[in-house]
Amino acid sequence: MMRNFFRKLTGSQLIIPLFSLLLLIVFNLIRDVSFFSISIVTNNQGYPVLSGNLISILNGASAVAIMSIGMTLITSCCKGQDISVAAVAAIAGSVFVSVLRSREITIPVIILAFLYACLVSVLFSLFNGVLVAVFKIQPMIATLILFSAGRSIAYWINGGATPTISNPLLAAIGGFIPGIPIPTPIIIMVIFLILIILVLKFTTLGLYTQVVGINEGTAHLNGINPVLVKLLAFVISGICVATAGCITVCRIGLINHETLLLDAEMDVILAVAIGGTALSGGRFNLYGSVIGAYIIQALTVTLYAMKVPSAAVKAYKAVVIIIIVVMSSPVVKEFIVKLYKRIFKKETDIKAAANTA
Amino acid sequence: MKNICKSFPGVRALKNVDFTLRKGEIHALMGENGAGKSTLIKVLTGVHPKDSGQIFLDMGGSLKEINVRSPQEAQNLGISTVYQEITLCPNLTVAENMFIGRGNYRLVNWRTMKKRAADILEKLNIPARAAQQLGTCSIAVQQMVAIARAVDMECKVLILDEPTSSLDEQEVEKLFSLMQDLKSRGVGIIFITHFLDQVYQVSDRITVLRNGELVGEYEAKELPKVQLISKMMGKDLEDVSAIKKQKPPEEKNDVPPVYEAVGLSSINFPNAFDFRISKGEVNGFTGLLGSGRSESVRAIFAADKITGGRIRINGKEVKIRKPKDAMKQGIGYLPEDRKRDGIVEDLSVRENIILALQVMKGFFKPFSRAEAEAFADKYIKLLGIKTASMDTPIKQLSGGNQQKAIVARWLLTNPQYLILDEPTRGIDVGTKVEIQKLILKLAEEGVSVTFISSEIEEMLRTCSRLIVMRDRKMVGELKGDEMTQDNIMHMIAGEAVHDA
Amino acid sequence: MGRNNNMLTGKLKNRRREPISNTNLLMSITVCTFFGMYLFAMIVWGGGFLNPQQFLDLFNNNAYLLIVACGLTMVMISGGIDISGGGITALVTMVCVVYLDDHGGTVLGSMLIALGIGLAFGLVQGILIAYLDIQPFIVTLAGMFFARGMITIVSIAPRTAAHEEFLKLKQARITLPGIGYYGKSGNFIPAQIEPGVIVAITVVIVVAVILKWTRFGRNLYAVGGNSHSALTLGINVKRTKFFAYLLAGLLSGIGGYVYLLHTGAGDAANAAQAEMQAIASNIIGGTLLTGGVGNVIGTLFGMLSLKTITNIVIASGLTKPYYQSITTGLMLCFFILLQSVILAVRERGPVRLLLPEWLRFGEIKRGEKK
């Protein structure tokens, strides 16, 4: 019975990300039992809120996790990565801020600003999408254009400034809604995830994306329009990216085109890879990508807790990433399986010998 | 003289298989798909390691045991392979493809390479230029270049894996004369093919494998064709002759044809053609390689961009501009290249089967797991698809079973007109028969079928009407008793006389 | 003859010369673009563009980038990607400065260290990618992260080299007789080339030779064109890929040293964006990300074009910093589209989607009956 469960678990695509997450958790618990403790503190507005490393991880990873959803879909059907996501997020953030600064900030205005940011983000994503789907350019190359120019465009939108924006409503979105102890970004992330799950359940998006990614010609011969599927993936990613950009702006309180979600695209791609989706396209693992995002954030928080200077965090991240990816490499997996069989064989041999003795 | 002797106990794909190749002989290796032929060859050429057993090679007059660990080692030992899929690099020139990876050179001498390549190309009468980029040559020429490479390497053992699948008759003759030439030079050739006639044309001996085991080794002269087939299938083949020839349906003039096209043309089939097929009729397209058979049916299914034509389904005019339109009209299409266009390899058998029907149902109405499983289950049983479970990735199935799954996909859509392009290519004899029977059964039930096969016999057996093609044009039609191999040839040749 | 050569889709007409290969065509376009741009700039804006020193500065300031880009060319031809170049470069600058100043090292020693670091990165990345079959993007991304992270571990603050011997080397210049410009005071100042440029040009020549004439170089093309075929043709694919990454790492190390010769300082922000600029140089120069096609001469001119655009933007008065990135983006866009259109037209004959009838030059058969 145990063996069947074990086999099912190792066969599941989620094994590596879950295992890595487990390792991180165990490591932290060993180091400091109270690492994951959640406490209730009173925040600036006088409301009781949850606080602690765990909360910090879940909160900080929200933006990357949301973007990784879009990236997973793009990777799956376009067989490549979109490296411009962070730059487009900066553009979306810029648009969000510029709309807000032009009016009095109320809830309808925030919604308007967000929709506007979404629209702009989707347009830029479609630009990428058209290059990839219609002109058949490799995603990483096509998105290199916005990667280079995107942040500058964001800068230009705000007239070459880095305006700050402060308002209790925005702080609520980036921080805590009065009365709710869970940070809002986490809530937004959960809502987003649920939406995507619903979309995957009530449409054939999952199937179509995978078919297009695995074999585009066959998709065409079965009545699927690969161009539409790819464009749709980019549209969804555009919405994800806009959401992530706006949340981050609300949390930080300003829009700096240079630093907003700096290097986040790398984190997003890493999240997708750790999560078990092949970067070369095909079958995807959405839950894995989201877990991957949390793993990366957990790693960052762990390192900060160990007093590692922020500039050096990259190096540690790199090592951990390598370990995880090496573990998932098929060559290594085969090796471990062989090793496992050898050990197991010895055991059964011993048992057999013991029985006959 | 013995060249190789081999035995492997205990390998899943091969159980205690012995194989002997003599110097200067052409030895055919036969067996259904999954019989172990490819595995045997891959072990010999170092692509897979063997679990146990020994390989001996004649080196300098005596048999020595060898251990082949990589294709490079095999090449060095004088064992060359030419695969069915072109294993050359399309971005390099013809000359480079012939010489790369060989020998011990450090620096490239372009001039010498070009000259040597040009010499070989001329000697073997291959229509390509040494400095031409390989990707611009046709598949047939690319294959010949691959063979030229092997020939130039003075191999002792030449393995040809389905070399004739993409060649037309003239090219096959050229290949065979090349093989005879090599034979006279003492090269041992292992010839793997599904074309039974070709086996008898050139082979000296035949080895048959079935289910990973050796069935036997025979002299070609002493083994009649029927016996060969029965040994490969493990049962007698009265099934084949039991297939009755279908009578052409009486042309009822008041019932409009299921499908009718007037002036249909696509970018791959620019010569507009007319075509109609009635309910329950089985027709075939035949012609030499490159005559446009596949392109014409792709035009019917709108798999290629349509440039003109009017379509009528059951008398009503419709627009078919893309595959989805054709599917909505009840047309199904099984593509010629199942690996490239048919299967979605990483997806499960179940997902592959429901794919077409799902697309027809629509984006917002996905099948529930239970529904999908029910469909898959029904067709796995109906067609006898051998698979571990319906969740197995389809790439793990053998060619024949993959083909059955794709057939299942289209049957599930309940088509009124099914197009099958080379459904029997590259699969075992047993499944071939099953498919031909299935075609006739479908016709009986009122489904119209267009059947394309390079084995004319199969079409003669099942079709009631044959359309002959040449150079992307329809040149004639044969019905009933007119359908014989001779007439087909005449019709193809007839047009050429007309031209001059 | 009955079935005339419809087998040979490549044979359009009876030509004596071969049609130009993809690699060379793309490269030619890049070269022409560069010269066209520069001439245009010389005519329209004159001034700086007529100054030969500015042209030479394209090399002086970007020698390191050229070296890194050459390494990347080899990797891309083999079908892979390497984004660790910038990180390795920066790490090398910091480590060498610390070595020279804090540990009293020799100039030779520092050069060896640079090579060593580059080789080390190339070695590890090569093993992970070629032998353990891990995605190159992730491995080299981790490599970049690791390198950049290590810089601050070596030294938190930026450091300027103060080592005497080294400074002598840094300040060495090669003067070109006869070519020069007139300075503000009317003196003739001859044009100068930094030592790093010599290294860069040597690297370009060496890599070009490797790619065209050595077995390893041709193997790179084969592996990039179809790695499965390459394997059955007897090429050791894993070893070829491994050496591609090893060399790329080594060249990044050399690039790092050249960077140090140019700026004389180690800083965590050195060579920022270098990897993306190297990729851009390659793309503009005609190296395909999918592999099998590429040429270092193209990369050279790709880099020159990339940098010239920046100069043009400044000269035309658009001084806001964001204009530079936007124009770089536009230029990339143009070249990427150009490549895809040209390749589509050449390989598939009539392009299905985009081009009108008159641009098709493909399967026009003779005697077509309608």
Residues A259 and A287 grouped into a single domain? yes
What average pLDDT score do residues B47-67 get?
Answer: 74
Query: For residue B75, is pLDDT > 60?
Result: yes
3-state secondary structure of B93: strand
How far apart CA C26 and CA A213 sit, in angstroms, is 28
Residues A203 and A255 grouped into a single domain? yes
The letter for the amino acid at B223 is L
**How would residue A293 be classed by pLDDT, with cut points 50, 70 and 90?**
very high
Whole-number CA gyration radius for chain A:
23
How far apart CA B325 and CA B307 sit, in angstroms, is 15
Model pLDDT, residue A8: 53
DSSP assignments along A174-196, one per residue: HS--TT--S-HHHHHHHHHHHHH
Would you state the torsion angle of the CA atoms of residues A19, A23, A25, A31, taken in this order, to the nearest 10 degrees? Answer: 180
Contacting residues of C for B471, CB less than 8 Å apart: 3, 6
Residue A28 forms part of a structural domain: no
Residue A6 forms part of a structural domain: no
Residues A258 and A297 grouped into a single domain? yes
SS (H, E, C) B363-418: CCCCCCHHHHHHHHHHHHHHHCCCCCCCCCEHHHCCHHHHHHHHHHHHHHCCCCEE
pLDDT digits (tens, 9 = 90+) for A326-346: 877 778 878 888 888 888 776
Model pLDDT, residue C370: 26
Residues A301 and A356 grouped into a single domain? no
How far apart CA A123 and CA C321 sit, in angstroms, is 24
Taking CA–CA distances from B341, the nearest residue in chain A reads A218
Q: Chain B 435-494, CB below 8 Å of chain C: which residues? A: 471, 473
Which one is predicted more confidently, B486 or B122? Answer: B122
Residues A190 and A334 grouped into a single domain? no
- Look at chain A and report how many structural domains it folds into: 2
Contacting residues of A for C325, CB less than 8 Å apart: 148-149, 151-152
Would you state the torsion angle of the CA atoms of residues B365, B369, B371, B375, taken in this order, to the nearest 10 degrees? Answer: 110
Interface A-B: count of C-beta contacts within 8 A: 70
Determine, for residues B347 and A223 on separate chains, whether the beta-carbon distance falls below 8 Å: no
Residues A238 and A135 grouped into a single domain? yes
Residue A116 forms part of a structural domain: yes
**How would residue C356 be classed by pLDDT, with cut points 50, 70 and 90?**
very low
Residues A205 and A257 grouped into a single domain? yes
With beta carbons less than 8 A apart as the criterion, state whether B371 and B358 touch.
Answer: no
Residues A122 and A189 grouped into a single domain? yes
Residues A198 and A328 grouped into a single domain? no
Residues A154 and A242 grouped into a single domain? yes
Domains along chain B?
Answer: 2-240 (3.40.50.300), 277-307+317-499 (3.40.50.300)
How far apart CA A116 and CA C250 sit, in angstroms, is 48
Determine, for residues B363 and A208 on separate chains, whether the beta-carbon distance falls below 8 Å: yes
pLDDT digits (tens, 9 = 90+) for A167-183: 777 777 777 777 777 88
Tell me which residue range forms the domain holding A325: 313-357
Q: Which distant-in-sequence residues (6+ apart) come within 8 Å of B119 by Cβ?
A: none
DSSP assignments along B116-185, one per residue: HHHHHHHHTT----TTSBGGGS-HHHHHHHHHHHHHHTT-SEEEEESTTTT--HHHHHHHHHHHHHHHHT
Place of tokens 């591609």: C244
The beta-strand segments (E) located in chain C are 159-160, 174-182, 188-193, 265-266
What average pLDDT score do residues B470-483 get?
Answer: 80
The tokens for B386 are: 């051998």
Residues A328 and A288 grouped into a single domain? no
pLDDT digits (tens, 9 = 90+) for B336-364: 888 888 899 889 999 999 999 999 988 88
Model pLDDT, residue A89: 94
C338 touches A at CB < 8 Å:
no
Of B322, B341, B359, the CB nearest to A217: B341
C366 touches B at CB < 8 Å:
no
Angstrom CA distances, A56 to A22, A53, A287, B296, C362, stand at 18, 5, 20, 62, 61
C321 touches A at CB < 8 Å:
yes
B118 touches A at CB < 8 Å:
no
Select, from the ranges A40-44, B163-167, B351-355, C46-50, the one with the highest average predicted confidence (pLDDT). B351-355
- Residue A250 neighbours by CB distance under 10 Å: 26
Please give the share of chain C, as a percent, with pLDDT higher than 90.
30
With beta carbons less than 8 A apart as the criterion, state whether A76 and A200 touch.
Answer: no
Place of tokens 């048992």: A351
The pairing of strands C159-160 and B54-59 is unpaired
Q: Chain C 256-275, CB below 8 Å of chain A: which residues? A: 268
The tokens for C251 are: 């060249």
Contacting residues of B for C212, CB less than 8 Å apart: 108
Taking CA–CA distances from C327, the nearest residue in chain A reads A149
B135 touches C at CB < 8 Å:
yes
Per mean pLDDT, which range of A279-283, A314-318, B195-199 is the poorest? B195-199
How far apart CA A241 and CA A166 sit, in angstroms, is 22
Query: For residue A294, is pLDDT > 60?
Result: yes
How far apart CA A276 and CA A282 sit, in angstroms, is 11
- Residue C131 neighbours by CB distance under 10 Å: 14
Q: Which distant-in-sequence residues (6+ apart) come within 8 Å of B356 by Cβ?
A: A222, A223, B327, B332, B409, B410, B412, B413
Residue A203 forms part of a structural domain: yes
Question: Hey, which CATH number is domain C22-346, 3.40.50, 1.10.3470, 2.60.120, 2.60.40?
Answer: 1.10.3470
Angstrom CA distances, C33 to B60, B187, C58, C300, C335, stand at 60, 54, 16, 13, 10
Place of tokens 């010498």: B112
For chain C, the domains span 22-346
DSSP type of residue B192: E
Residues A56 and A135 grouped into a single domain? yes
Residue A348 forms part of a structural domain: yes
Q: In 3D, which of B292, B294, B289, B336 has the Cα closest to residue B169?
A: B289
Residues of B81-98 as b/e, b for ≥16 C-beta within 10 angstroms?
bbbbebbbbbbbbbbbbb
Place of tokens 């001439």: C39
CATH of the domain at A300: 1.10.3470
pLDDT digits (tens, 9 = 90+) for B384-437: 888 888 888 898 888 788 888 999 999 999 999 999 998 887 677 778 888 888
